[in-house]
C-alpha cells in the first residue's frame, strides 16, 4: 500500500514537472522539496511496516546523488533532471513492488537508476515518431527525418533549434546538431523568406529530458529495468 501511495505521488509530481519543463524550461524547486519531504515521511512508515536495510537505502542514495551531480557538472545533465533523480532515490530507498508489478525485473535494485536507464531507451521513440511524420518530406538530409520537422522560416516555434539557417552572406547552412536561434538569426530567416531564398527550414525540438524520465518512471514501475532485461535476453 505504501508503494502505491509513493508511486501515485511521484507520478503526479513528475507530470506537473514535465508540464513546467515543456512550457517554461524551468521546474520549481518546491516540487522536488515536496517529493523529498513526502518520501522521508513515507520511508519512515514503510520501515516500521515492511523493514528494509537502512545501509542499502543510504548506499543507493549516495550512488544516485554522486551520479546526478556528475551528470550535471560534467555531462550537461539538466538541473531539474538531476534533482528528480535525487528525489527518486529518497522516495524509493528500495524498488517498489505492487502485486504483479514490476512484471519483468527490478534491475540492479536501484529504482532511480532503472528510471534513468529506461529514459535513455525511450528517447529514440521520438525519432521514430518524427520519421513517420516526415515520410512525406522529400528534401533535406535523411537524418533530419529522424530528429526534426519542417516549419515556415518566419515562424520558428519556441524551444526549437535550427538545423537550417541563413548566414550573413545569405547562404543556407545545414547542420546535424541543432543550433539555438538568436534574434539576429530569426530576423535573417524572415528576411530570407521575403527574398524567396528559403521558404521552410528544418528544426529540431529541444524536448526536456524530464519528459522521457516520466515515461521511464512508468516503465520502471510496470515492467522494471528494460536495459537489464535486454541484456539478460542477449546473454541467455
Q: For residue 25, what pLDDT is reported?
A: 87
Nearest residue to 172 (alpha-carbon basis) of 185, 184, 182, 161:
185
Confidence at residue 35, expressed as pLDDT on a 0 to 100 scale: 98
DSSP secondary structure string for all residues of 94-140: S---BTTBSSS--TTS-HHHHHHHHHHHHHHHHHHHHHHHTTT--SS
Predicted confidence at residue 173, as pLDDT, reads 94
The Cα diameter of the chain in Å comes to: 72
Please report the pLDDT score of residue 77 as a whole number: 85
Average pLDDT by stretches of 10, the chain with 236 residues: 97 97 92 98 96 96 96 87 97 96 95 96 87 87 91 94 94 91 95 93 90 96 96 88
By the 8 A CB rule, do 166 and 197 touch? yes
Helices and strands in the chain: count of H runs, count of E runs: 9, 4
Q: Which SS3 state, helix, strand or coil, does residue 194 take?
A: helix
Amino acid at each position: 500500500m505504501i508503494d502505491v501511495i509513493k508511486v501515485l505521488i511521484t507520478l503526479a509530481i513528475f507530470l506537473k514537472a514535465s508540464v513546467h519543463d515543456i512550457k517554461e524550461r524551468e521546474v520549481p524547486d518546491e516540487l522536488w522539496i515536496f517529493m523529498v519531504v513526502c518520501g522521508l515521511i513515507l520511508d519512515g512508515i514503510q520501515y516500521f511496516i515492511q523493514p528494509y536495510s537502512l545501509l542499502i537505502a543510504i548506499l543507493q542514495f549516495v550512488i544516485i546523488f554522486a551520479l546526478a551531480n556528475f551528470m550535471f557538472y560534467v555531462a550537461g545533465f539538466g538541473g531539474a533532471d538531476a534533482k528528480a533523480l535525487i528525489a527518486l532515490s529518497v522516495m524509493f530507498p528500495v524498488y517498489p513492488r505492487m502485486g504483479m508489478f514490476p512484471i519483468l525485473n527490478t534491475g540492479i535494485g536501484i529504482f532511480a537508476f532503472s528510471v534513468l536507464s529506461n529514459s535513455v531507451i525511450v528517447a529514440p521513440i521520438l525519432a521514430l515518431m518524427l520519421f513517420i511524420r516526415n515520410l512525406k518530406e522529400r528534401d533535406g538530409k535523411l537524418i533530419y527525418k529522424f530528429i526534426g520537422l519542417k516549419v515556415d522560416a518566419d515562424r520558428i516555434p519556441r524551444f526549437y533549434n535550427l538545423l537550417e539557417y541563413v548566414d550573413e552572406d545569405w547562404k543556407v547552412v545545414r547542420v546535424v546538431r541543432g543550433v539555438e536561434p538568436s534574434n539576429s538569426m530569426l530576423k535573417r530567416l524572415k528576411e530570407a523568406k521575403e527574398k524567396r531564398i528559403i521558404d521552410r527550414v528544418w528544426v529540431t525540438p529541444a524536448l526536456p529530458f524530464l519528459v522521457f524520465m516520466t515515461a521511464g518512471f512508468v516503465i520502471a514501475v510496470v515492467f522494471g529495468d528494460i536495459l537489464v532485461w535486454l541484456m539478460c535476453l542477449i546473454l541467455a
